Structures are given as structure tokens and as C-alpha cells.
Amino acid sequence: MKRPRKLGRGVALVGVGMSKFGMFRDRDSKDLFAEAFRNMIASVDKGVDPKEIDALYVGNFSNDFFIHQAHWGPIISDLIGHVPKPATRTEGACASSALALREGIFAIASGFYDMILVGGVEEMSKRSTEEVAEGLALATVPYEGKAAFTFPGVFGAVATAYFDRYGASREHLMNVTIKSHNNAALNPRAQIKATIRSMMEAKRRRASEKGLPEPTWQDEKEFLRDQDANPVVAWPMHLFDCCPISDGASCALLVGEEMARQFSDAPLYVVGMGQGSGSGLHAADELTTFQATKYAAEEAYSMSGLKPDDIQFSEVHDCFSIAELIHMEDLGFFKSGEAYKAVEDGATRLDGSKPINTSGGLKCKGHPVGATGVAQLMEVWEQLRGQAGERQLPIKDLRIGAAHNLGGTGGTCTFTIFERR
């Protein structure tokens, strides 16, 4: 980086909305986006006329593969009555809508537009699990695909390298999973709104109702060690290390900073943003770090003048439990090889020193891949505005929150920092 990054004009977030996330037989990308759009409009404190939107950017990874339909920009534009104004699809695998967010920010910062709609959508659940694995694997680098790596496989391999280098184990990954579920149980929008303990109770109840012997797990880790309850997906990634398959959409409204108060009582300002790219496993300098995340963080910190310690909480791309650990290190929240210890000590819990994925993360909130980048803003928005209900962070003067999004095997990573003023 030759000089610190800066925007030519400040940009503010004045509304965010999500659809329900889940596996829906009877819902499609259009009505999911419509739901996210309606929720976004309702979130704008002082109201907004959607006719004022100048352009839209929509992230979508691979509806082309999942439902055999491409070219989602104009489809979404038509859906919300935005035609004939411009609509652009962005693609960056699981970071597709984080790229939409960035394009929206640039469009306003350049002075060309004043109000931009950004969002994302993905419709995955109409395919079998094997087909979803194949579809997502389109975002690996070619050599990983030839080696029959799936995404759980890529992160499973990364986990073996992390274990070998730092002495962590599956038990440490379980701490990440348990924490995600505890947070999600407090998030009405989570796809999996349950603690591991409540899932254990439910399984015991079902066994008892069927007259089968009740499982005798003593605690969450014993449940997670149980091969029947938590089968292998791509060793050492087990079912509970992996985010679910999800359909869903997300939406956010950006305006020029000087206009923010016309629309919002408590707008959030973009104070730092960064994006990086990466080469895939074979060409990465190290297997226990994502170069793209490090670069994105460096840009965002340099633009904001903030340090990792200044980020009061963050959504971190936890497509797999190991990803949360490595990214927390790459973002500078913990030293290399230390994140798993910090999680074990409770640092990343709601009441910890660095709360991570207070929403429940992709693991529990759900991960409709193209929608995720903007959906992460929902949690930042609610926490910073004091609207997170039971999972509201108990931090005095909560001002700075961030979202980190990854696409592919670290091919595209973004980090965006927001401030409430």
C-alpha cells in the first residue's frame, strides 16, 4: 500500500434488512429478496422513498449453478420496481455481497450517486448436499477441484495444518461451535436458533418418545464427540463445524454522509474498508493464515486509523469453525496460534473482551453465500444501535463494529469497519 486509503466522500448506512434464512421448498430468490427489501425499508428511521435509489448492486455467487439462472442484476431491479436504473451483479464466491457493498460505497464516495441499494441473494437448498458441495467447489482454485477438495475439505486440511503447527485440537474447535450456538439461541433471525444443550435435550426427548435408550452425554463436548450425533463431513470437520445450507437474501441502503440524518436517527458511518485476494492452498505462503484477510485488514485499519484493539466486536466469516480461529488471528484480534486459547478462555463470548459473531455467525445464522456479506451488516447495525435484544453487548459506549467476509479458499476477503457517532 502506497498511502492510507480514504473515501472521496463519506458514506453512511441508513437501513439494513434480511429475509428469513433457511431451506425453503416454496420460496425463491425473488420473494426472499423482496422480504429483505421490505425489512430494509422498514429499518430506515425517518422513512425513504425507494424511487430515490440511484443504482443497485446485488451479490450472487452461483444461482447459475444452483437454479440454472444467471444475470441477477436486472431480475432484482425489476422485482423492486427500479427499472430502468442501473443494476449490477457482483461475484466473489461467498463474499459476493461484500463486493456489492464496496461497489455501493465507491459509487457514492465518487460523487456520481447519492443513494445506493446493496444486497445479495442465494438459493441453494433445491440441490442435494452432494450437488451443493460440487457447486460451492466451483469457487476453489482449479487444482483443488481436481484433487476433489470440497469446501469442508479445504478447511479440514487447513485445520490439520493449524493443529500440527499450534497444538490445537478438535476440542478447541468445539468451543467455537458451542459459543456460536449460545449466541444464535438469542437471535430471532438465526436459521439454527438453539444451544447445543437444547439440541441434546431434544434428541433425548425424541429417543424417549420412541422408546429408544436415551443418550447419556454428560456435556456439550461429549455430544460433539459422538460420531452419530456429529458425523464427519471432511475430517476433522464434522457436521457441527460446518455452516448449514441456506436460502436467503440481504439488503442495505447507503447514502452520502452529509445526507444521513435526513433518513436515520442513528446512521452508521463507513470508517474503514479493505479487500484482498489470495492464491489458494497450493500457492499460499502459509496454510494457517489467509493473506487476503490480512491485506483487507491492513487497508481497513490504515483508512480508519484504528487498531485491532479498537474494534469492539466483529462478525467474522465462520463458514467452518477453524475459519473463525484463523481469521481472528489474521484480523489482528489475537496473535498467531493464540485464538483457540482465547476462545477457550471465553474472550469471544457476548461477555468477553472481544465478542465475535454475536449473531451466531454463519454457523447458526445461516449462510446463503451470496447474501452473507450484507447480512453480516445486520448484526453490526443492531448492536451499534442498541437493538440486539437479548444478545445486546454489555459494552459501555459501543461505537465501533466490523464485518469480515471470505470467498473461496481465501481468494476474496473483505473487512469493513463501521462507527456510530
Partner 1 sequence: MEQKPFNDISYQAYLKEEKLMGSKCRSCGALFVPPRPICVKCGASEMDWVEMKGQGKLSAFTCIAVGPPFMKQEGYTRDHPYCAGVIQLDEGPRVTARIEDIDTKRPEEIKVGTAMKVKYLHRGEGDRGTTFLAFKPL
By CB under 8 A, name the binding residues for partner 1: 129-131, 133-134, 137, 142-144, 146-150, 152-154, 156-158, 160-161, 163-164, 231-237, 280-283, 287
Neighbouring CB atoms inside 10 A of 277's CB total: 15
For partner 1, give the closer residue by CB, 37 or 149. Answer: 149
Strand order in the sheet with 247-256: 87-90, 55-59, 115-123, 247-256, 11-18, 268-277, 412-420, 400-407, 313-315
Q: How far is the CB of 279 from partner 1 (least distance, A)?
A: 8
Distance CA 335, CA 249 (A): 34
For partner 1, give the closer residue by CB, 163 or 263. Answer: 163
Q: How far is the CB of 234 from partner 1 (least distance, A)?
A: 4
Q: How far is the CB of 147 from partner 1 (least distance, A)?
A: 4
CB distance 329 to 339 below 8 Å: yes
For partner 1, give the closer residue by CB, 233 or 300. Answer: 233
Strands 247-256 and 11-18: antiparallel
Q: How far is the CB of 126 from partner 1 (least distance, A)?
A: 15
Largest CA distance in the chain: 68
**Catalytic annotation present for 94:** yes
Distance CA 300, CA 65 (A): 33
CA distances from 316 to 265, 309, 391 (A): 27, 15, 17
What single letter denotes the amino acid at residue 380? Answer: V
Q: Which of 82, 172, 181, 367 is catalytic?
A: 367
For partner 1, give the closer residue by CB, 245 or 374. Answer: 245
Burial (Cβ within 10 Å: 0-12, 13-18, ≥19) of residue 261? middle
Burial (Cβ within 10 Å: 0-12, 13-18, ≥19) of residue 289? buried
Query: What's the number of CA atoms in the CB half-sphere (13 Å) around residue 93?
Result: 22
Q: How far is the CB of 278 from partner 1 (least distance, A)?
A: 13
For partner 1, give the closer residue by CB, 129 or 262. Answer: 129
Residues that are catalytic: 94, 367
